[in-house]
Amino acid sequence: MQRLKCLPFLSLLLLAATAAHADTVVVTADHMVDVIAGRVVDHPQITITDGRISDVASQGAPVAAGARRIDLPGMTLLPGLIDMHVHLTSDPLFSGYRPLEFTDNFWTVVGVANAKRTVEAGFTTVRNVGSSNYDDVALKQAIEQGYIPGPRIVPATYAIGATGGHCDDTEFPPSIKTPQTAVADGPEALRAMVRKLRKYGAEVIKFCGTGGVLSKTDTVGAQQYDLTEMKALVDEAHMLGLRVAVHAHGTSGIKDAIRAGVDTIEHASLGDEEAFALAKQHGTYFSMDVYNDDYILAEGEKNGLFKESLEKERMVGRKQRETFRAATKAGVKMIFGTDAGVYPHGTNAKQFVTMVTWGMTPMQAIQAATVTAAEALGRPGDVGAIAVGRFGDLIAVAGDPLANVAALQSVAVVIKGGAVVKQSGQSAAK
């Protein structure tokens, strides 16, 4: 009995001890976009405890004692944005043969600068779907250890590709040997490659299922792995608990990838109604980089892009936007993926306007970059919404992003895990 009597007192002591150590931040603003309900909420008050959201209430609700306050009058809060398709270690200024002027580790440093630009633009989570030298794993570790500012990274490490395909180095003559680190042909080699990339830090698997634009010698619509190969790769990845993203512009490649069980189709440019129906049946997401065309056609030549790539872009760019509109209308699950690296990092949000021009409502475009993206990552408990339990990743913009989605291009405040990364144009980043 004596002991039992002590319990309430003990737990009070314990509570006091945790409270003393808990880092609590309370954020208020005029409005908040509730991406789960698809509506705007007025006068929100969000509490973040030790990096995770612990309360979503209205202003006037009690504020935890000792909490730091971030009051943002006139602003609208949104969850930190998610870009499902970036290449942090690429810079569009160096296209075609221009990257050859630099040493290998130059690209790691480029990634450091781009990670900062990305998080300051309001993208607190990215999926990096292709880099060399396990640079994305290095960036993730450096960000987590607090050495550099940057988003949460889901790294794919290398993009896997077939010999002579989009993810092989096809721009060299036979006498020039390139490392071919992630070139694999046939089901067995593909299974082994998935195992190797996971071993060294891949948290998602990316492969090139059809031709591409920026590669020099392949045909953009042509399929580059057959169904058996795709199935082997996907089965292996899923067995290991990893999701799979496929680079696929071409119609047959998109369909076979969906049949093989791929989780996200990147680009999806030449998808047709049958592909949309398959995607809906399998629950496959489309990640369409619909802004890219503007940048590539305007700047590509100046940046040294292969003339073959410019020709391919002219074939595929507008068609991709038409496909985007049709896929949205058909009800395919859409996620926000820009391919930043092909256009400048930190300007990821430009794509929202293109998505709205081509058939989405602003709310749909925002959901593609938040709640739906988190679902496609398999991390709905962590990111993608202002909801209890998820990370304290918030952004704030002046103006109404639902009336004018371009407001997302000027993010005034970025909070990641309860820590201010940027406020009113000033970077709090180290």
Question: Which chain residues interact with ligand ARG by CB under 6 A?
Answer: 212-214, 267, 289, 292-293, 296, 313, 316-317, 320, 339, 342
The DSSP result for 280-342, as a single string, is HHHT-EEE---SHHHHHHHHTTTTT--HHHHHHHHHHHHHHHHHHHHHHHHT-EEE----BTT
Q: Could you tell me which residues come within 8 angstroms of residue 278 by beta carbon, excluding any fewer than 6 positions away?
A: 255, 258, 259, 284
Taking the complex as a whole, the smallest distance from the CB of residue 40 to ligand ARG amounts, in Å, to 31
Shortest CB 341 distance to ligand ARG, Å: 8
Q: Based on CB atoms, which residue is closest to ligand ARG, 198 or 267?
A: 267
- Classify residue 86 as left (phi > 0), alpha (psi -120 to 50) or beta: beta
Residue 207 Cβ, how far from ligand ARG at the closest point, in Å? 13
Nearest CB to ligand ARG, comparing residues 359 and 399 = 359
With CB atoms as reference, the residue minimizing the distance to ligand ARG is: 212
**Which CB atom, from 141 or from 347, has the smaller least distance to ligand ARG?**
347
User: At its nearest, how many Å lie between ligand ARG and the CB of residue 98?
Assistant: 16
Q: How far apart are CA 231 and CA 256, in angstroms?
A: 9
Sign, CA torsion 108/109/110/115: positive
Task: Report the residue number, 245 or 316, with the smaller CB distance to ligand ARG.
Answer: 316
Of 163, 153, 101, 149, nearest in space to 131 by CA: 153
Of residues 28 and 292, the one with the C-beta less far from ligand ARG: 292
In whole angstroms, the minimum distance from the beta carbon of 353 to ligand ARG comes to 15
| Shortest distance (Å) from residue 339 CB to ligand ARG | 5
Q: Which is nearer to ligand ARG, 220 or 407 (CB)?
A: 220
- Rounded CA-CA distance 296/307 in Å is 12
Separation CA 86–CA 99 (nearest Å)? 18
**Least spacing, CB of residue 105 vs ligand ARG, in Å:** 23
Shortest gap between Cβ of 216 and ligand ARG (angstroms)? 10
Angle at 267 (CA atoms; ends 261, 273), nearest 5 degrees: 70
* Identity of the residue, 120 or 168, whose beta carbon is nearer to ligand ARG in the bound complex: 168
The Cα–Cα gap between 253 and 224 comes to 8
- Please state the closest distance from residue 321 (CB atom) to ligand ARG, in A: 8
Distances (CA, A) of 200 to 85, 128, 129, 137, 183: 20, 15, 15, 8, 16
Please, which residue, 149 or 212, has the CB nearer to ligand ARG?
212
Is the CB of 186 or the CB of 344 nearer to ligand ARG?
A: 344
Q: How far apart are CA 122 and CA 407, in angstroms?
A: 12
- Rounded to a whole number of angstroms, the minimum distance from the CB of residue 217 to ligand ARG is 12
Residue 212 or 253 having the CB closest to ligand ARG: 212
| Min dist. Cβ of residue 316 to ligand ARG (A) | 5
- Count of alpha carbons within 13 angstroms of residue 29, beta-carbon side: 25
Residue (130 or 418) nearer to ligand ARG, CB:
130
The per-residue b/e assignment along 166-203, b for 16 or more CB within 10 angstroms, e otherwise, is bbbebeeeeeeeeeeebbbbebebbbebbebbbeeebb
Q: Which two tokens stand for residue 26?
A: 């309370």
DSSP state of 351: H
| Integer Cα distance of 207 and 218 in angstroms | 15
Hey, is 269 helix, strand or coil? coil
Residue 371 CA from chain centroid, whole number? 12
